[in-house]
Amino acid sequence: MAHVAIVTGGTRGIGRAISEMLTRDGFTVVANYAGNEEKARAFTDETGIPAYRWDVGDHEACLTGCARVEQEMGPIDVVVNNAGITRDGTMLKMTFEDWNEVMRINLGGCFNMAKATFDGMRQRKWGRIVNIGSINGQAGQYGQVNYAAAKSGIHGFTKALAQEGARSGITVNAIAPGYIDTEMVAAVPEAVLEKIVAKIPVGRLGKAEEIARGVCFLCSEDGGFVTGSTMSINGGQHMY
Ligand code: NDP
């Protein structure tokens, strides 16, 4: 039977590409989203993939949301923690709310989703968790102390949980995308974006499908020996 995979923020941008590619790879995919009903409806109409609305930063909502998915679709074997937001601003301008909201959703969401699904994976002795980090969590970024801290936290979370899951057939990995052509990046002012592209050795933004391909590998049987790792997919912008 096909493994059930949930992709948070899976109805648009990078998440949509992941939802579609995992489906093509034979997973039974469910997408989660926050509130953009128009995009979610178009996504389900065009792909046939069901979409479930809840806030991944809300612990209880993740527990009840995942329980509902499991009741309707079967046990969740794959979690792709892709949902993320930005609330950019320099330290002088960033509010506590900007800080908290990014930590709550981007990092807290990973904990909440793992909490809802990890024990089931452990009992079934198979699981895949892929967390979408960021180049800015690796290298830092002006005006993003909240986002960089949350994404950097994701990389630590990944390595710790990988150790806990390893004996139970659960792999936990992260992908650190560079700048990918989505609505999130469209929000970056054009002059800033030009400077960013100039620093990318391959000379262009990445495509959502290029991230999805990495996720699909990590979720595959062939990816079973890869755990606790971070795959950088960034056009050579950050190498270490
Ligand atoms: P988008 O802004 O295009 O899409 C974000 C998705 O996350 C949407 O589906 C949105 O739902 C969902 N979402 C946001 N908040 C929540 C929440 N609280 N609960 C559930 N779902 C939520 O983002 P991208 O596709 O650009 O980015 C996807 C991931 O990749 C993010 O984690 C981002 O930080 C990371 N990333 C992106 C990069 C880029 O260049 N684009 C670079 C590096 C990392 P809804 O549609 O309902 O609003």
- What DSSP line would sit under 147-199, residue for residue? HHHHHHHHHHHHHHHHHHHGGGTEEEEEEEE--BSSHHHHTS-HHHHHHHHHT
Q: Which tokens in the block code for residue 24?
A: 């093509």
Residue-range definition of the domain harbouring residue 188: 4-230
Question: Is 205 part of any domain?
Answer: yes
Ligand 1 atom closest to 84 (CA) = 32
Identify whether 236 is part of a domain: no
135 and 181 Cβ atoms separated by less than 8 Å: no
Q: How far is the CA of 119 from the centre of ligand 1 (A)?
A: 26
Asked whether the predicted pLDDT for residue 84 surpasses 80, the reply is: yes
Å from CA of 32 to ligand 1 middle:
11
222 lies in some domain? yes
Tens of pLDDT, residue by residue over 120-148, are 999 999 999 999 999 999 999 999 999 99
- Of 33, 52, 142, 147, which residue is the catalytic one? 147
CA 160, CA 33: separation in Å to the nearest integer? 26
Contact yes or no for 76/4 (Cβ under 8 A): yes
Nearest ligand 1 atom to alpha carbon 179: 40
Q: What is the rounded radius of gyration, in angstroms, for the C-alpha atoms of the chain? A: 17
Are the CB atoms for 234 and 135 separated by under 8 Å? yes
62: its two tokens: 């993740």
- Say how many Å lie between the CA of residue 81 and the centre of ligand 1: 10
Q: What percent of the chain has pLDDT over 70?
A: 100
Please name the residue whose Cα sits nearest to atom 27 of ligand 1: 14
Ligand 1, atom 34, residue with closest C-alpha: 84
Residue 238 within a domain: no
Task: Give 34-47 pLDDT, tens digit per residue.
Answer: 999 999 999 999 99
Residues with CB under 6 A from ligand 1: 8-9, 11-15, 32-36, 39, 55-57, 82-85, 105, 132, 134, 177, 179-180, 182-185
Looking at the structure of the chain, the number of domains it has is: 1
**Residue for token digits 């178009």?**
42
Residue 235 lies in a domain: no
106 lies in some domain: yes
**ipTM value:** 0.99
> Where does the pLDDT of residue 110 fall: very low under 50, low under 70, confident under 90, or very high at 90 and above?
very high
Pairing of strands 230-233, 170-177: parallel
179 is annotated as an active-site residue: no
Q: What percentage of the chain has pLDDT greater than the value 90?
A: 95
Query: How many Cβ atoms are within 10 Å of 218's Cβ, its own excluded?
Result: 23
- Order across the sheet with 51-53: list the strands: 51-53, 28-33, 4-7, 76-81, 127-132, 170-177, 230-233
* pLDDT tens digits, one per residue of 183-223: 888 888 899 899 999 999 999 999 999 999 999 999 999 99
In a domain, 240, yes or no: no
What region does 233 belong to: left with phi over 0, alpha with psi -120 to 50, or beta? beta
Q: Ligand 1 atom closest to Cα of 211?
A: 30
The CATH number linked to 113 is: 3.40.50.720
- Residue 198 placed within a domain: yes
In this predicted model, what pLDDT tens digit does every residue of 89-107 receive, in sequence order? Answer: 999 999 999 999 999 999 9
